Amino acid sequence: MSHTLEQRRGLRGSGGPPRAALDADAVRRAYKRWAGVYDTVFGGVSSMGRNRAAHLVNQLPGRDVLEVGVGTGLALPHYRVEKRVTGIDLSAEMLEQARRRAAKLGLANVAALRVMDAESTDFPDASFDTAVAMFVASVVPRPRQLMTEMRRVVRPGGNILFVNHFAAENGPRWWIEWAMAPASRALGWHPDFPMQSLFAPEDVARASIRPVPPFGIFTLVRLPN
């Protein structure tokens, strides 16, 4: 996952409880601990959302793909061979797992896997046709800055994709998410993450927003750039 050293304190929308600040060092430590077992513990629960996002990337025009928060590379085998994929992540330990996966599977279309802050990359403007962030938006210190940077590196007419959990506004799921929040922070992830932390109202109006089965816990969002 990708972050800056600046801490963030956000409010959960619609009267929800405040979320604790996240910073890069804390999340680095969390993912360093989890790198070796991440696939086993979390790969299954996130697989449907990841597969849906990769499938949508494959359907979109253009060759050059940036995967933000590539982690251990679970999505890498799902991209078509004609896609040229660059992955970035804040965690060197997670990226080492991704490199091993790409080498083992002979994924020649993986162009690069780099340690980099997704909120401030060193890519030139308009470097990619598509940028996709899977389960990243709710752990970066500044989600709107992540969005700004993804807009910058994607070519005009390209696409920005997110698959993430976004908090329920009310009802039983709201209370479950609030109860889950302390345990989830051990991994640097917030289940109480409101969509408005990432998207401006005008983004929501233009975006394609689809719940991901089963149960619609995760949401796939495509935003034309």
Model pLDDT for residues 125-159, shown as the tens digit of each residue: 999 999 999 989 988 889 999 999 999 999 999 99
Query: Torsions phi, psi of 21, nearest 5?
Result: -65, 145
Residue 31 has pLDDT above 70, yes or no: no
Q: In the CATH hierarchy, which fold is given to the domain comprising 24-224?
A: Rossmann fold (3.40.50)
Predicted local confidence at residue 193, as pLDDT:
81
Q: Is 80 exposed, middle or buried (0-12, 13-18, 19+ CB in 10 A)?
A: middle
Is residue 111 predicted with pLDDT exceeding 60?
yes
- CA 58 from chain centre, in angstroms, equals 17
| pLDDT band, very low/low/confident/very high, at 25 (cuts 50, 70, 90) | low
Using pLDDT thresholds of 50, 70 and 90, give the confidence band for residue 169: low
Local structure of residue 117 (DSSP, 8 states): -
Sign of the alpha-carbon torsion through 37, 41, 46, 47: positive
Under the banding of pLDDT at 50, 70 and 90, the label for residue 202 is: very high
Angle at 51 between CA 45 and CA 57, to 5 degrees: 145
What is the rounded CA–CA span in Å between residue 99 and residue 103? 6
Among 11-20, 34-43, 61-70, 105-114, the range scoring the smallest mean pLDDT is 11-20
Q: Is the pLDDT of residue 3 over 80?
A: no
Of 180, 146, 167, residue with least CA distance to 11: 167
What is the β-pairing status of strands 128-134 and 154-164? parallel
Residue 133 parent element (H or E): strand 128-134
pLDDT for 16: 31
Element (H, E) at 224: strand 218-224
Token code pair at residue 13? 């929308």
Confirm if 160 and 223 have CB atoms less than 8 A apart. yes
Structure-token pair, residue 138: 């709710």
Please state whether beta strands 128-134 and 64-68 pair in parallel, antiparallel, or not at all (unpaired).
Answer: parallel
